[in-house]
Structure 1
Amino acid sequence: MPTPPDTRADPVTETLHGDEYTDPYRWLEADADDPEVADWTDRQNEYADAVVDDDLRAAFEPAFEGVADLPDYGAVTPRGGRYVSLNRDSDADRARLLVRETPGGEPRTLAAPDEFEGEASVDWFAVHPSGDRVAYGVARGGDEQYDLRVVGTDAGDLLADCGTVGRTGARMFAWADDGFYYVATGDPSDGAQMDKEFRYRADGDERVLATHDDQHVWPALDYHEPTGTLVVSFGEMSGGTRVTAWRGEDGAGETGDGDEEFETLFDGGDAEVSVELTDDRVFLRTDAGAPRGRVLGADAAGFLAGETDPETVVPEGEGVVREVTTTATHLVVHSHREAASRLAAHAFDGTHAFDVDLPGLSTVHGVEGDPDADDCFYVVESFDRPASVVHADLGTGRDGDDAPDADRAGGARAADGPPDPARTRTLREPDLDLDLDLAVERRTVVSADGTEVPLFVAHRADRDPSDAPTALYAYGGFRVNLTPTFSRFRLPFLAAGGVYAQACARGGSEFGEPWHEAGMRAEKRRTFEDVEAAADHLVEAGVTTHDRLGVMGGSNGGLTVGAVLTRDPTRWGAAVCAVPLLDMLRFHRFLLGESWTPEYGHPEVEAEYEWLREYSPYQHVEDREYPPTLFTTAVGDSRVHPSHARKTVARLQNEARGGPFCLRTETDTGHGLGKSVEMELDEQLDRWTFLAGFLGVSPADVPDGG
């Protein structure tokens, strides 16, 4: 192995709650444009290049290039007889914003990344209820600092350009009668990106309605046209939502400060709440009083006036409620049961009508109903099925002259009776030309405290895995659920005889809010214990051995990787730790870190500091053997500061044994959004080559052409 680059030590010693810490690499917290940091980063990238096995990379490359061309089909939003989506074609580098006149019709481009300077990406959109205009956000370099623009859907003409408005997105935008509301955030370069302004724009005039500087909450906006009410849901990153109505002088330019002009309509306390509005009804998806979630309903006008309390319409069941949307006559509920999706249609009073057929062990997302028809659209995927766009016609008993046109209804009706409920058809599905059949199973492992934890395992169907190179992926935080999803760049590893395993560690909400709470704050170690239990199961079951078992994760999942590595490095043969949090005694000082303290605890609170110091990976690097580990970060990451990865790599290279320990720093990208296909191809090829090579995969194991 080549020798890692030198890293200057410049120790900084400080005392925290009576404990003394020496940080030899504090200088690596500087910005990427610091000359010394930039030079060190370049040398680390060169070292990573030298470590990655060129022969194995060359063997994998044809397969990676083949799957990179698979198109990405995004969720469809139907409004006013138009159908809008973000799609990346197989010959394109990034997604375009498209509109269709029918669900399966030919698309017209409303916005494309190549219209803008730099490494631009269109990442989100919001369609006007009439369907005649669309707002969208475009960012550069993956920094999630969005320019907000509005275009007409007929001619694609630019109707409004608000300039750069920060981290706003589709849930922080709402159409009004003659304008729109949105939330702008501060500049991350001056530490103000958590500050928020509520703005209203109409006829080219823009006014600030209110400001809000609580760093622990993010707002979601909804607008109810019949009553003219702006609904603002203040939600914490780790859970807890308060639904309010804006009662200020709408559009008058008066600025509120804080909470006084937001009247509380529903306080979820520590529970999550999301809002779905129709002209007549309001529905709240919440886990308040129901750990797995339920749906509340109320008369919209009465609720928004603060006069009517919502009542349960869909009670808590076996599945965990994830999304709620409405069509003209149906309430559609998406839930997870045993970490896989279910989709059901209900009457507005909550009466169950029917289930929508889904493939087994699959995941649904982007569920969108058409308020003017009984149509619902969603994206479905699984470990062996790329994300595909599906149209479900929820109408029953419609035929002849009463049926919608064939394209919208999904084809001809049976002449001898009403159609089957929820007739579905796939609108867009990538053509996966890969000679690879996968076997997928859902197992259960027992964690340290006796809790049963789901573990998905996928491998080639023609091979019974035994001592196989195995990649275990985990996240475990912020209510993020690991369900069966497709990853094109996982396929070449599987084709080469690898096994992919996915642990539903606590900290997510695969089994509702109790599952989340069982892996956060003082209980965070349970996340790591669940991953360790999954690793031990895979070895004890003979699937793999410890030296052929790798662990992967990113962001909060990168924290999980760092923690299990430093808790017991002997479990692992290799690791990939992407855009990670690793210095948990200083995470709150950078970028969005302060907003995550409800999830992890606050280092400046002594009792919470005790939780964090128990596992903070950076402080637990010791003079012992660690497996080969590739860390990745990005210059434009506006969420997790690159210093986490930098400092930990420096400490491992200089204070630990084993390895190699590599750092790959990407430019022109951020925490994950906005990457071009070429960027993602190079990044994923490096990650999988590194992992596979150190788990014992050789070029001879890779089938010809991948």
Structure 2
Amino acid sequence: MKVITNKGLLVLAILSPILSVAQLKQIQKGTMIYPKTKSIAIKDNYFGTEVTDPYRWLEDDQSEETKAWVIAQNEVTQKYLSQIPYRNAIKERLTHLMDYEKYSQPFKEGVYTYFYKNTGLQNQSLLYRQKDGEDAEIFLDPNTFSKDATTSLSGIDFSKDGSLCAYQLSVGGSDWTSVVVMKTDDKSVVGDTLKDVKFSGIAWQGNEGFYYSSYDKPVAGSQLSGLTQYHKLYFHKLGTSQKEDVLIFGGEKTPRRYVGAELTEDERYLIISAANTTSGNELYIRDLNQPDSEIISVVDNFDQNHSIIDNIGSKLYIYTNLNAPNGRIVTVDAADPKPSKWKELIKETSNVLSPSTGGGKLFANYIVDAVSKVLQYDMEGNLEHEIELPGLGTAVGFRGKKTEKEIFYTFTSYVYPTTIFKYVVSNGSSFLYKKSGVDFDPLMYESKQLFYKSKDGTKVPVIITYKKGIPLNGKNPTVLYGYGGFNISLTPAFSTSVVSLLEQGGIYAVANLRGGGEYGENWHIMGTKLQKQNVFDDFIAAAEFLIAEKYTSSDYLAIMGGSNGGLLVGAVMTQRPELFKVAFPAVGVLDMLRYHKFTSGAGWAYDYGTSEDSKEMFEYLYKYSPVHALKEGIKYPATLVTTADHDDRVVPAHSFKFAATLQKDQGGKAPVLISIQTNAGHGAGKPTDKAIEEIADKWAFMFYNMGIEYKAVK
């Protein structure tokens, strides 16, 4: 093996040669040969307990040694996948299913209506615009931003009159963006491009400039993994240098991990939200009608979640879960906006509320057992309409400016392709605007919601989707998907990747686990910190339910999840390895003792706690942390770990260390592979071709390890 020296660092130039015919035969027999991953004796002491971390060197994702390891692992993975005879057939089918026109909901800015459109297989959707009575024209084509289409449009915001816009560019899926300001009439660029912006919207103040948020960029060499602690809100005045931008909030005086800003539609109030974790926020306002006005506190603690959703003059409309875990809407005068002065407008119900405004109305979008129910209210809180939806599914939208008489929403479910509707505010009627062109017959499939009991007796919903008429004999290839964290709700949504599974007689099951937001803040809290095991128990119970009801069996059951869902998969496959045949932990949080030391990970402590909080919290995390829960000699499921080299949210070191440990510890013949996409991030902005390849690889891997032959679909 050739060894080279780079700036004093010993680097393995070649970790694994091209696989030979003999090695391929060993793969086919179930005896995997993995790249050698060196082990370094690193130990940490947590409250008297020594914990080894032999693969910590993989945390340096910019080192030549780590890059060589990535190349070697990808080589083994691709060699394994390439010998699956129907891999290309799956890819071709997915390509066909995704080759149809896709539209976003339209939105109005100035004299134009804007919308996103993808003709079918374009890597990035294009932003179009049109005036009434005229043909649509391309406004921005992100496919031209880079040769390989890995530079994406991550956001765009317009000034109130629509004459200016600021759009954000993400390179390789990174959360770090640059901001380009442009005149919308002739598309000429205004001023210099802003650099190093992260987790930010753009809030315009007239045509003078805008507010945005960012962190101090980590030092060179750690841009993708360095800790991003303190968010800062700036005002950028057009025509000036970014160096001259004025700090509005954050910094040394008010250090906060997350800071965001927006303006009310009339641009009278600047609204600032500040938080240190992913749940609970402070709320501030500034009256921009008053020169040099102070920033006033509305809520001065992080105990609950709040947002200002509208105003009429000085009357503020606030969404809050203060004293209302499922959410409510209150009003208050901006002159004295503290919670003791709030007046209830729309009361809390037994269902979780997600409000929006449009056409001068309030829309209360409720989650009822994971599906949508939408009510329209006037600004005095009087109920006007319940929106008649096409069925049980997810409705999103119902947003627009006060003057708009028609707004839009989309409706979807696991068997209802995403469809856009136009909604008439005055009478509550809906009209079909854009129907999906996907090659799918919903009459051939069914999707139903069932309830099962978790380990502690808690009732948990699961939605199961499959082709009508399949036998419930325990032999159906089944994917169980979950998330269970950060107050995020999994509601029904159509997916062409799922269709390609259902066509093969497969079953897709989504469990609404504790830790999510389907039943409000109480449901969320029951899956956090020292109660996180509830989430894993819920997922395991879902698997046992599917097996007991003969939908599938352990030989045909795969589990899938991404990010926090990757943690979920990693935890349950280490706790109950015999229960699953295949596991797909994607961009997962897998080292629970060190997650808070990278990028914005410290902000996740509300859900997880940290290994430094207390001995009790450390021991709890250590017990379920997937990297540390692996045991040598255990027969683990066939596992395909997926991550990306530019993931600067959940750094790829989590997946690197988990895959290396699992490859070492695997006691069975099932393969342990890791696929590391290059020039890709946590998932946003991923080109269509990369998405198709990733899905095809997963289905091929799953079918192959279940011993199922893929049937060509005509």
Question: Could you tell me the TM-score, scaled by structure 2's length?
Answer: 0.88
Seen in structure 2, the aligned counterparts of structure 1 residues 307 and 268 have a Cα distance that, compared at 3 Å, is closer
Determine if contact 1:376/1:394 at 8 Å carries over to the other structure: yes
Matched, 1:195 2:233: no
1:159 is paired with a residue of what secondary structure? coil
Amino acid at match of 1:287: N
| Aligned residue in 2 for 1:428 | 434
Which of 436, 446, 465 pairs up with 1:439? 446
Aligned counterparts, 1:205-220, within 5 A:
205=240, 206-213=244-251, 217-220=257-260
Determine if contact 1:634/1:667 at 8 Å carries over to the other structure: yes
2:700 is paired with a residue of what secondary structure? helix
Which of 127, 142, 145 pairs up with 1:116? 145
Determine if contact 1:166/1:193 at 8 Å carries over to the other structure: no
Cα distance in structure 2, aligned partners of 1:495 and 1:560: 27
The more displaced of 209-218 and 339-348 is 209-218
Which of 366, 376, 383 pairs up with 2:414? 383
1:511 CA drift (Å): 0.3
Cα distance in structure 2, aligned partners of 1:143 and 1:13: 31
1:618 is paired with a residue of what secondary structure? helix
| Aligned residue in 2 for 1:276 | 309
| Aligned residue in 1 for 2:601 | 593
The more displaced of 384-393 and 288-297 is 384-393
| Aligned residue in 2 for 1:415 | none
Seen in structure 2, the aligned counterparts of structure 1 residues 394 and 646 have a Cα distance that, compared at 3 Å, is same
Q: Gaps spanning 5+ residues in structure 1: where?
A: 253-259, 396-420
1:518 CA drift (Å): 0.4
Determine if contact 2:536/2:571 at 8 Å carries over to the other structure: yes
| Aligned residue in 2 for 1:409 | none
| Aligned residue in 2 for 1:626 | 636
Cα distance in structure 2, aligned partners of 1:227 and 1:139: 28
Cα distance in structure 2, aligned partners of 1:67 and 1:227: 44
Aligned counterparts, 1:302-701, within 5 A:
302=335, 309-328=341-360, 330-395=361-426, 421-435=427-441, 437-467=444-474, 468-606=476-614, 607-623=616-632, 624-658=634-668, 659-699=670-710
1:261 CA drift (Å): 6.5
The more displaced of 560-569 and 143-152 is 143-152
Cα distance in structure 1, aligned partners of 2:141 and 2:267: 36
Determine if contact 1:496/1:697 at 8 Å carries over to the other structure: no
State, as a whole percentage, how many aligned pairs show the same letter.
Answer: 29
2:154 is paired with a residue of what secondary structure? strand
2:547 is paired with a residue of what secondary structure? helix
Which of 220, 234, 238 pairs up with 2:274? 234
| Aligned residue in 2 for 1:264 | 297
Cα distance in structure 1, aligned partners of 2:545 and 2:274: 41
Determine if contact 1:325/1:368 at 8 Å carries over to the other structure: yes
CA deviation profile, 1:182-232 (whole Å, cap 9, x unmatched): 113332535353432322233413522235257764223122476743110
Cα distance in structure 2, aligned partners of 1:94 and 1:466: 42
Which of 127, 141, 161 pairs up with 1:97? 127
Aligned counterparts, 1:66-145, within 5 A:
66-102=96-132, 106-117=135-146, 119-145=150-176
Determine if contact 1:207/1:251 at 8 Å carries over to the other structure: no
Cα distance in structure 2, aligned partners of 1:363 and 1:124: 23
Amino acid at match of 2:322: A
Amino acid at match of 1:230: L
| Aligned residue in 1 for 2:182 | 151
Amino acid at match of 1:631: V
Seen in structure 2, the aligned counterparts of structure 1 residues 237 and 380 have a Cα distance that, compared at 3 Å, is farther
Determine if contact 1:245/1:265 at 8 Å carries over to the other structure: yes
The more displaced of 50-59 and 487-496 is 50-59
Seen in structure 2, the aligned counterparts of structure 1 residues 133 and 57 have a Cα distance that, compared at 3 Å, is same
Determine if contact 2:400/2:407 at 8 Å carries over to the other structure: yes
| Aligned residue in 2 for 1:11 | 41
Seen in structure 2, the aligned counterparts of structure 1 residues 307 and 451 have a Cα distance that, compared at 3 Å, is closer
Cα distance in structure 1, aligned partners of 2:606 and 2:453: 28
Amino acid at match of 2:309: E
1:666 CA drift (Å): 0.3
The more displaced of 360-369 and 313-322 is 360-369
The more displaced of 568-577 and 107-116 is 107-116
1:517 CA drift (Å): 0.3
Amino acid at match of 2:307: S
2:167 is paired with a residue of what secondary structure? strand
Determine if contact 1:240/1:270 at 8 Å carries over to the other structure: yes
Question: Could you tell me the TM-score, scaled by structure 1's length?
Answer: 0.89
1:505 CA drift (Å): 0.5
Cα distance in structure 2, aligned partners of 1:225 and 1:346: 19
CA deviation profile, 1:600-656 (whole Å, cap 9, x unmatched): 001111232122112111111002110100001100001011111111111111122
Amino acid at match of 1:633: T
Q: Gaps spanning 5+ residues in structure 2: where?
A: 1-26
Aligned counterparts, 1:283-302, within 5 A:
283-299=317-333, 301-302=334-335
Cα distance in structure 1, aligned partners of 2:76 and 2:267: 61
Cα distance in structure 1, aligned partners of 2:276 and 2:542: 30
2:86 is paired with a residue of what secondary structure? helix
Amino acid at match of 1:669: A
Determine if contact 1:135/1:151 at 8 Å carries over to the other structure: yes
1:120 CA drift (Å): 1.2
| Aligned residue in 1 for 2:15 | none
CA deviation profile, 1:551-570 (whole Å, cap 9, x unmatched): 00000000000000111101
Amino acid at match of 2:245: R
Cα distance in structure 1, aligned partners of 2:624 and 2:170: 35
How many residue pairs are counted as aligned between the two chains?
Answer: 665
Seen in structure 2, the aligned counterparts of structure 1 residues 556 and 568 have a Cα distance that, compared at 3 Å, is same
Q: CA RMSD in A?
A: 2.5
Aligned counterparts, 1:14-93, within 5 A:
14-31=44-61, 33-52=62-81, 54-93=84-123
Seen in structure 2, the aligned counterparts of structure 1 residues 453 and 584 have a Cα distance that, compared at 3 Å, is same
Determine if contact 1:285/1:324 at 8 Å carries over to the other structure: no
Seen in structure 2, the aligned counterparts of structure 1 residues 391 and 683 have a Cα distance that, compared at 3 Å, is same
Cα distance in structure 2, aligned partners of 1:602 and 1:192: 15
1:435 CA drift (Å): 4.8
